[in-house]
């Protein structure tokens, strides 16, 4: 019995395998192109989401900081005014504040000082902003009064965060 | 010339072989071994039982057709292309033969390209009947040669290998046997032709006249063959010298010269290698080797195909996995940001994140703002710039987020208030300033929000 020559079959198989491999290669190149562009998209999405996560983390840290205060209620402005600008007239009006997270409320006060020595204004502002929790200057309007040099009318809007009683 | 072409007709994969010259006076054999410096040959007796055992065993044997049993012709194909030349050479050879080409076994040895761009080839052929007869003769002494060389060409290449030809000299290699002489001639290293004649000076001269016409300036006579004894050479050389003067050279061990030539050509690559044991006469060792080579080639192609396929699949899978991983990572990131599972993918999921983020920023805003630069620092900066530049403010109004800005006042020169405008721009305010000089010589200015950078 003569042994079958394996060469023609092997050659055919080899050629078929090469053809399939080349086709697979082309398909892979196409797939890689698609995958690459999709990956680029997802990388940019992930970057944007990452920035959002950082911002969220910063916010959470800020809230945690306020939560950790021993007495999370702002010092009344009237007390601070008496302390820093004793003798000067003032008027405090409560204004609606911005909404915030549950358990906290943002309070807003408008302070009007009809005539003060403007040089003393800095001392007052330094005191209010270093409180724990602080009062924060939101807007101000200074108009010098003609009566004496260095005197003026000051209108201040100040915000503070206050923990709501449970 | 390529190495592959130089190996054509050889058994260069083997390191050793026997070569047998079926000379008129009886077989002459050598055992040859390829070494780094060339091929080393040792004379052996083919009748020795030990040698006979080797000949009948697996040892490679190289044989040779006598000059009168075959022939060689230089052919010039009118093409430079080797492929085209190969197509026309058989027809060109057929024209020159007095018998049908189909009765012959032939091969074409590459001879290079001529100056006018044509392909030169040396056709080497023998009638199949002669080859069969020769193989029978080898079988009678118990040998089965793998290769069948051509005597004239073998004599020429071995002669110039053993004694290099002088530059531009013409060499006539005369191999003397009992009754015949084989003449192989060439110029420099270039083979011209070979002939077999009955011994005698007049026969040799006739061939030289036919091939060379007139005596060349430098002629070398190289004597070899079993009959190249000093007495035999002396008997014919003086007559040759009369018309064809030249230098006389003797090859060492002239008896085994052809056997050495056959062995050297069989074991080593080089120009004008030939093996007329081909086609129907092809030796089973060569056929098996060809089969193995085909098999190896097919296996290499198969392996390359499989590697390519595997690499493609692996690359595709890896890329897909990487993308899936990136999508899963992003999905987890989105879920964390949204605070719940977001079913949407990609851009749509990101839109949801943006929405959730906007809502969170809104409610967290007072907390975030607590850690941003205070409006007090801006106020202090304005007051300091005012002091440095002697500005008198009449209204100074500031609001958060740079939304409110209204400063009016007076100064002594045009540029003093501009310094304030510039400082505010440095702080990120988009400002528009207005200046006016009045009759008292002072400059009244107004700085308000606005200008080209205002995006609020």
Nearest CA in chain B to A30: B316
Nearest CA in chain A to B345: A42
CA separation for the pair B397, B424 (Å, rounded):
13
CA separation for the pair B299, B309 (Å, rounded):
15
Are the Cβ atoms of A59 and B346 closer than 8 angstroms?
no
Q: What is the DSSP letter of B113?
A: E
CA separation for the pair A149, A162 (Å, rounded):
38
What is the residue-level pLDDT of chain A in tens, covering all 166 positions? 456 677 788 889 999 999 999 999 999 999 899 999 999 999 999 999 999 889 888 888 998 988 888 888 888 999 998 888 888 889 999 887 677 888 888 889 999 999 888 878 888 888 888 888 889 999 999 998 876 667 889 999 999 998 877 6
CA separation for the pair B152, B161 (Å, rounded):
14
Are the Cβ atoms of B375 and A48 closer than 8 angstroms?
no
pLDDT number for residue B137? 95
* B440 or B53, higher pLDDT: B440
pLDDT number for residue A69? 86
B384 at the A interface (CB within 8 A)?
no
pLDDT number for residue B3? 58
Are the Cβ atoms of A24 and B375 closer than 8 angstroms?
no
pLDDT number for residue A1? 46
Write the CB contacts of B58 (distance below 8 Å, at least 6 apart in sequence): none
How far is CA B116 from its chain centroid? 28
Tell me the average pLDDT across B403-413: 89
Q: What is the DSSP letter of B284?
A: H
| pTM of the predicted model as reported, rounded to 2 decimal places | 0.62
Cβ contacts of A144 on chain B, cutoff 8 Å? 392-394
Nearest CA in chain A to B291: A7
Are B30 and B263 a contacting pair, CB within 8 Å? yes
* E strand spans, A16-134: 91-95, 104-117
- Which of A31, A45, A63 faces B316 most closely, judged by CB atoms? A31
pLDDT higher than 90, residue B403: no
For the beta sheet containing B443-449, the strands, ordered from the edge strand earlier in sequence to the opposite edge, are A91-95, A104-117, A151-163, A135-144, B392-399, B405-411, B443-449, B431-437
DSSP bridge pairs for A145: none
B295 at the A interface (CB within 8 A)?
yes
Are the Cβ atoms of A41 and B346 closer than 8 angstroms?
yes
- Which of B336, B357, B396 faces A142 most closely, judged by CB atoms? B396
Are the Cβ atoms of B308 and A98 closer than 8 angstroms?
no
Are B129 and B280 a contacting pair, CB within 8 Å? no
Dihedral class, residue A74 (left if φ above 0, else alpha if ψ from -120 to 50, else beta): beta
Angle at which helices A77-84 and A121-129 cross, to 10°: 140
CA separation for the pair A106, B366 (Å, rounded):
7
Confidence of residue B456 (pLDDT cuts 50, 70, 90): very low
pLDDT higher than 70, residue B23: yes
Are the Cβ atoms of A139 and B404 closer than 8 angstroms?
yes
Cβ contacts of B313 on chain A, cutoff 8 Å? 24, 28
CA separation for the pair A15, A24 (Å, rounded):
14
Are B132 and B103 a contacting pair, CB within 8 Å? no
Mean per-residue pLDDT of chain B: 89
Each residue's pLDDT tens digit, B190-244:
999 999 999 889 999 999 999 999 999 999 999 999 999 888 899 899 999 988 9
pLDDT number for residue B98? 83
Cβ contacts of B383 on chain A, cutoff 8 Å? 122
Are the Cβ atoms of A106 and B350 closer than 8 angstroms?
no
DSSP bridge pairs for B106: B125
CA separation for the pair B99, B93 (Å, rounded):
11
Each residue's pLDDT tens digit, B70-116:
999 999 999 898 889 989 999 999 998 888 899 999 999 999 899 99
Which of A25-34, B152-161, B165-174, B351-360 has the least mean pLDDT? Answer: B351-360
- Which of A5, A50, A59 faces B368 most closely, judged by CB atoms? A59
B351 at the A interface (CB within 8 A)?
no
Are B407 and B382 a contacting pair, CB within 8 Å? yes
Nearest CA in chain B to A160: B366
Are the Cβ atoms of B304 and A18 closer than 8 angstroms?
yes
Are the Cβ atoms of A62 and B371 closer than 8 angstroms?
yes
Which of A97-101, B271-275, B438-442 has the least mean pLDDT? Answer: A97-101
pLDDT number for residue A130? 84
- Which of A39, A46, A161 faces B322 most closely, judged by CB atoms? A39
* E strand spans, B261-312: none
Cβ contacts of A96 on chain B, cutoff 8 Å? none
Nearest CA in chain A to B322: A39
Dihedral class, residue B266 (left if φ above 0, else alpha if ψ from -120 to 50, else beta): alpha
Nearest CA in chain A to B371: A62
Instruction: Name which of B100, B108, B86, B91 is nearest B276 in CA terms.
Output: B108
- Report the SS3 class of residue B427: coil
Joined tokens for residue B142:
């118990």
pLDDT number for residue A2? 54
Tell me the average pLDDT across B285-297: 88
Are the Cβ atoms of A52 and B353 closer than 8 angstroms?
yes
CA separation for the pair A12, A17 (Å, rounded):
8
- Which of A35, A63, A161 faces B323 most closely, judged by CB atoms? A35
| B positions 62-91 inside 8 Å of A (CB) | none
Tell me the average pLDDT across B138-151: 92
Nearest CA in chain B to A21: B309
- Which of A10, A62, A97 faces B298 most closely, judged by CB atoms? A10
Joined tokens for residue B254:
């002239």
B374 at the A interface (CB within 8 A)?
yes
Tell me the average pLDDT across B284-304: 89
CB count within 10 Å of CB B288 equals: 10
- Which of A36, A49, A134 faces B334 most closely, judged by CB atoms? A49
Are the Cβ atoms of A20 and B397 closer than 8 angstroms?
no
Cβ contacts of A129 on chain B, cutoff 8 Å? 374, 376
Write the CB contacts of A29 (distance below 8 Å, at least 6 apart in sequence): none
- Find where tokens 């009244």 sit: B444
* A165 or B273, higher pLDDT: B273
CA separation for the pair B213, B456 (Å, rounded):
108
- Which of A20, A35, A55 faces B320 most closely, judged by CB atoms? A35
CA separation for the pair B192, B201 (Å, rounded):
20
Using CA atoms, how far residue A21 sits from A28, B300, B314, in Å, is 10, 14, 12
Are B98 and B181 a contacting pair, CB within 8 Å? no
Confidence of residue B1 (pLDDT cuts 50, 70, 90): low
- Report the SS3 class of residue B262: helix
Give this complex's ipTM.
Answer: 0.76
Cα dihedral B327/B328/B332/B334 (nearest 10): 20
Cβ contacts of B370 on chain A, cutoff 8 Å? 62, 66, 133-134, 136, 161
A-B CB pairs within 8 A amount to 188
Confidence of residue B5 (pLDDT cuts 50, 70, 90): low
CA separation for the pair B69, B101 (Å, rounded):
15
Are the Cβ atoms of B350 and A49 closer than 8 angstroms?
yes
pLDDT higher than 60, residue B453: no
B327 at the A interface (CB within 8 A)?
yes
Residue to mutate among B293, B312, B358, with most A CBs inside 10 A, is B312
CA separation for the pair B421, B315 (Å, rounded):
60
CA separation for the pair A79, B169 (Å, rounded):
126
Are the Cβ atoms of A20 and B337 closer than 8 angstroms?
no
- Which of A46, A136, A139 faces B398 most closely, judged by CB atoms? A139
């Amino acid at each position: 019995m003569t042994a079958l020559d394996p060469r023609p079959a092997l050659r055919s198989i080899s050629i078929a395998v090469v053809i399939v491999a080349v086709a697979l290669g082309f398909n892979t190149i196409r797939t890689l192109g698609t995958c690459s562009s999709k990956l680029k998209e997802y990388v940019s999405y992930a970057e944007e989401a990452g920035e959002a996560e950082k911002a969220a983390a910063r916010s959470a840290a800020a809230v945690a900081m306020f939560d950790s205060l021993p007495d999370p209620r702002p010092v009344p402005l009237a007390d601070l005014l008496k302390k820093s600008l004793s003798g000067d007239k003032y008027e405090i009006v409560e204004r609606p504040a911005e909404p915030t997270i549950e358990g906290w409320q943002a309070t807003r006060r408008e302070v009007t000082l009809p005539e003060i020595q403007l040089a003393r204004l800095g001392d007052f502002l330094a005191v209010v902003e270093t409180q724990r929790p602080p009062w924060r200057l939101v807007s101000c309007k200074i108009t010098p009064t003609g009566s004496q040099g260095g005197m003026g009318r000051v209108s201040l809007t100040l915000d503070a965060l206050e923990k709501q009683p449970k | 010339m390529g190495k592959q072409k130089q190996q054509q007709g050889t058994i260069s994969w083997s390191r050793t072989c026997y070569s047998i010259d079926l000379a008129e006076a009886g077989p002459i054999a050598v055992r040859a071994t390829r070494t780094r410096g060339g091929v080393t040959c040792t004379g052996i007796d083919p009748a020795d039982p030990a040698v006979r055992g080797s000949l009948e065993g697996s040892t490679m044997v190289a044989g040779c057709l006598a000059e009168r049993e075959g022939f060689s012709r230089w052919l010039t194909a009118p093409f430079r292309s080797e492929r085209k030349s190969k197509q026309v050479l058989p027809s060109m050879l057929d024209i020159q033969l007095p018998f049908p080409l189909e009765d012959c076994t032939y091969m074409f040895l590459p001879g290079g390209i001529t100056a006018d761009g044509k392909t030169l080839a040396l056709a080497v052929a023998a009638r199949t009947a002669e080859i069969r007869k020769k193989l029978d003769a080898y079988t009678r002494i118990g040998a089965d040669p793998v290769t069948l060389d051509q005597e004239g060409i073998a004599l020429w290449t071995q002669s110039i290998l053993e004694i290099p030809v002088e530059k531009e000299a013409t060499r006539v290699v005369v191999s003397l046997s009992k009754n015949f002489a084989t003449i192989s001639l060439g110029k420099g290293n270039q083979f011209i032709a070979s002939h077999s004649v009955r011994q005698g000076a007049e026969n040799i001269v006739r061939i030289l006249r036919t091939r060379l016409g007139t005596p060349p300036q430098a002629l070398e006579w190289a004597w070899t063959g079993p009959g190249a004894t000093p007495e035999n050479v002396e008997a014919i050389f003086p007559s040759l010298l009369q018309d064809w003067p030249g230098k006389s050279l003797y090859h060492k061990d002239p008896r085994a010269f052809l056997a050495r030539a056959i062995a050297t050509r069989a074991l080593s690559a080089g120009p004008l290698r030939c093996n007329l044991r081909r086609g129907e006469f092809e030796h089973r060792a060569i056929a098996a080797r060809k089969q193995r080579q085909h098999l190896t080639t097919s296996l290499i192609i198969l392996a390359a195909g499989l590697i390519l396929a595997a690499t493609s699949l692996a690359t595709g899978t890896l890329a897909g996995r990487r993308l899936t991983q990136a999508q899963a990572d992003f999905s987890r990131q989105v879920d964390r940001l949204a605070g719940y599972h977001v079913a949407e993918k990609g851009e749509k999921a990101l839109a949801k994140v943006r929405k959730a983020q906007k809502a969170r920023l809104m409610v967290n805003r007072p907390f975030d703002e607590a850690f941003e630069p205070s409006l007090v620092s801006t106020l202090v900066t304005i007051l300091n710039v005012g002091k440095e530049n002697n500005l008198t403010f009449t209204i100074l109004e500031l609001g958060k987020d740079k939304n409110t800005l209204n400063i009016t006042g007076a100064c002594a020169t045009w540029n003093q208030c501009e310094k304030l405008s510039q400082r505010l721009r440095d702080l990120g305010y988009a400002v528009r300033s207005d200046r006016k000089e009045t009759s008292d010589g002072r400059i009244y200015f107004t700085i308000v929000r606005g200008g080209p950078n205002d995006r609020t």
